């Protein structure tokens, strides 16, 4: 093992040479490749192997692993490093499955806010045909969701762009804060969270493959978007009009080099761009490119007739429901219970007239919810038989189902000394 590996200091293995095989020969990129079935995660001692570092990847199965550039590379260095890793993976028979993907980080630190907007607008418009080129089940994968399917994330992208315009004027860093806040929402095909982390846009679309040409094509597609962002005249709604004026074929010719156009263009391209892509781009133009205006747009004052009718009918239904509900409410006194049972109502209590119930202190309910055995009726003075019978009857009637009432004679008070 080389000393550089032991010291964890990479050797001087970069040549810093532009490479015309890339659309942008000097473009810095980051590269992450996931594989499964990686039995030995230690890469051999090789010049290009030192460009990669191993990361554990818990979302994968079967000894999944991720190999990531140790630093952003461009030109010949990125070409050689990616070529070496792809060949080595195929040689080692590492598995490319539906779970594994290749993520490309495109350095955008050299762009101006206008150009970043142009790049996002262009990407949004072309996103559906990009997914069509990617193929497989990546469009439905929950690790690279398209913006046209994740309206909420699209809105966050708009916020980042709008904040970046504000930051440009005021010298604040709100765009970074919003990008940082997307750490838990970074599973979009275009992940803007990496703007805060590395100053890059992460493209998570591609399924891992052993075909080096396909990886090169993918990176060139991404670089083409950035190259076009440099040459767009303005970055707002006018980009959408430009796309509409150019038409599908000319637009693809304007953005991508010839061989890629042939791969990207299908019979469905036009429909995908105009029906799926442009609506997303339009949202970015409306909510990202123009500042929030507080101009007063007045809705005509007054209540809509249909709405008033609906509320009236809903209120009627509610009251009717309420009445039914009131009829079914729990009885809160004994009189209601008697009415419900269709029995003759109990007469008004003869408490005042009768000596047995003359004073409140004569009646003691230990616990009204407890069986009547616990209740005591204290007898202040001996009632006559008729009064006693009526009292019994009333008590039993009032406490139907709770047990029988009984009268406890109160002992005679002790004489005072």
Partner 1 sequence: MLLRPCDVENISDFNRYYTNSWVGYHEDPDSEKILPAFVSNPGTGTSTALKFLTKKGGSWQLGSWNMLTLEDLEKHLDFGRPNIGMVDDGPTVVFLSYSTPRAPSKGLRTRDARINNFNDHEIYRYRTPRSSERYDWIYHAFNPAYLNLDEALKQLNNGEKIGVALSPVLALFTSSTSKFPVLAYKRWSIGYLQDKTAILNPQYQEYAEPVAKQLQVKVAV
Residue ranges binding partner 1 (CB under 8 A): 97-98, 136-137, 139-142, 145, 149-153, 184-188, 237, 240, 279, 282-283, 285-286, 290, 293, 295, 297, 299-315, 317-318
Looking at beta carbons only, is 187 or 212 nearer to partner 1? Answer: 187
On the 0-12 / 13-18 / 19+ scale of CB atoms within 10 A, 246 is: middle
Cβ closer to partner 1: 135 or 345? 135
Spatial separation of the C-alpha atoms in residues 278 and 69, rounded to whole Å: 34
Q: How far is the CB of 136 from partner 1 (least distance, A)?
A: 8
Q: What letters, b where the CB count within 10 A reaches 16 and e where it falls short, cover 40-60?
A: eeebeeeebbbbbeeeebeeb
CA angle 239, 243, 246 (to 5 degrees): 130
Tokens 């009726």 belong to: 377
Collect all residues with Cβ–Cβ distance below 8 Å to 134 and sequence separation of at least 6.
Answer: 205, 206, 207, 218
**Spatial separation of the C-alpha atoms in residues 69 and 218, rounded to whole Å:** 17
- Residue number, 164 or 278, with CB nearest to partner 1: 278
C-beta closer to partner 1: residue 97 or 173:
97
Do residues 17 and 64 touch, judged by C-beta distance below 8 A? no
Residue 33 C-beta: closest distance to partner 1, Å: 19
Say which residue the tokens 């004489």 belong to: 415
User: In this complex, which beta carbon is closest to partner 1, that of residue 81 or of residue 284?
Assistant: 284
Q: Name the minimum Å distance from CB 31 to partner 1.
A: 21
Q: How far is the CB of 231 from partner 1 (least distance, A)?
A: 23
Length of the chain: 417
Q: Which is nearer to partner 1, 281 or 356 (CB)?
A: 281
Handedness of CA 369, 372, 376, 381 (dihedral sign): positive
By beta-carbon proximity to partner 1, the closer residue of 315 and 373 is: 315
Closest CB to partner 1 among 19 and 185?
Answer: 185
Q: Please, which residue, 300 or 411, has the CB nearer to partner 1?
A: 300
d(CA 42, CA 54): 8
d(CA 386, CA 345): 21
As measured in angstroms, the least distance from the Cβ of 100 to partner 1 is 11
* Nearer Cβ to partner 1 (81/161): 161
CB of 40 to partner 1, least distance (A): 23
The Cα–Cα gap between 102 and 64 comes to 13
Tell the smallest beta-carbon distance from residue 244 to partner 1 (Å): 9
The distance of closest approach from Cβ of residue 8 to partner 1 in the complex, given in angstroms and rounded to an integer, is 30
Give the burial string for 319-329 (b: 16+ CB within 10 Å, else e): eeeeeeeeeee
Whichever of 51 and 105 has its CB closer to partner 1, that residue is 105
The distance from CA 62 to its chain's CA centroid, rounded to whole angstroms, is 29
175 sits in which H/E element: helix 174-181
Which has the closest alpha carbon to 354: 376, 310, 386, 331? Answer: 386
Minimum Å gap between C-beta 404 and partner 1 is 47
Under 8 Å between Cβ of 39 and 65: no
Q: How far is the CB of 2 from partner 1 (least distance, A)?
A: 37
- Residue matched to tokens 């670089």: 223
Separation of alpha carbons 301 and 309, rounded Å: 17
Rounded to a whole number of angstroms, the minimum distance from the CB of residue 102 to partner 1 is 17
């Amino acid at each position: 093992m080389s000393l550089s590996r032991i010291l964890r200091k990479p050797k001087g293995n970069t040549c810093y040479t532009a490479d015309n095989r890339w659309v942008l020969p000097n473009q810095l990129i980051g590269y992450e490749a996931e594989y499964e079935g990686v039995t030995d995660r230690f890469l051999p001692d090789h010049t290009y192997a030192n460009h990669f570092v191993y990361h554990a990847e818990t979302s994968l199965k079967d000894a999944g692993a991720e190999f990531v550039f140790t630093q952003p590379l461009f030109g010949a260095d990125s070409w050689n490093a990616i070529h070496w890793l792809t060949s080595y993976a195929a040689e080692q028979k590492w598995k490319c499955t539906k779970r594994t993907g290749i993520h490309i980080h495109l350095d955008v630190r050299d762009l101006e806010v206008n150009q970043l907007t142009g790049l996002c607008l262009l990407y949004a418009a072309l996103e559906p045909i990009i997914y069509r080129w990617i193929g497989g089940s990546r469009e439905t994968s929950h690790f690279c969701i398209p913006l046209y399917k994740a309206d909420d994330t699209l809105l966050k992208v708009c916020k980042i762009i709008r904040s970046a315009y504000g930051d440009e004027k005021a010298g604040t860093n709100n765009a970074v804060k919003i990008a940082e806040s997307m750490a838990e929402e970074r599973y979009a095909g275009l992940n803007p969270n990496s703007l805060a982390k590395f100053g890059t846009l992460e493209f998570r679309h591609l399924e891992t493959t052993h075909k080096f040409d396909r990886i090169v094509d993918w990176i060139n597609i991404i670089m083409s978007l950035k190259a076009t962002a440099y040459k767009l005249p303005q970055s707002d709604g006018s980009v959408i009009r430009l796309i509409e004026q150019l038409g599908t074929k000319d637009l693809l010719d304007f953005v991508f080099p010839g061989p890629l156009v042939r791969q990207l263009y299908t019979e469905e391209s036009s429909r995908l761009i105009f029906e799926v892509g442009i609506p997303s781009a339009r949202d970015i133009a409306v909510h990202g490119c123009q500042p929030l205006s507080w101009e007063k747009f007045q809705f005509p004052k007054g209540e809509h007739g249909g709405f008033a009718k609906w509320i009236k009918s809903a209120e009627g239904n509610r009251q009717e429901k309420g009445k039914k509900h009131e009829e079914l409410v729990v009885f809160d006194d004994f009189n209601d219970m008697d009415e419900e049972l269709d029995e003759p109502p109990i007469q008004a209590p003869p408490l005042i007239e009768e000596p047995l119930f003359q004073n409140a202190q004569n009646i003691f309910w230990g616990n009204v919810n407890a069986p009547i055995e616990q209740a005591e009726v204290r007898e202040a003075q001996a009632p006559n038989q008729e009064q006693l019978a009526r009292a019994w009857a009333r008590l039993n009637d009032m406490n139907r189902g709770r047990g029988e009432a009984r009268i406890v004679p109160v002992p005679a008070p002790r004489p005072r000394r």
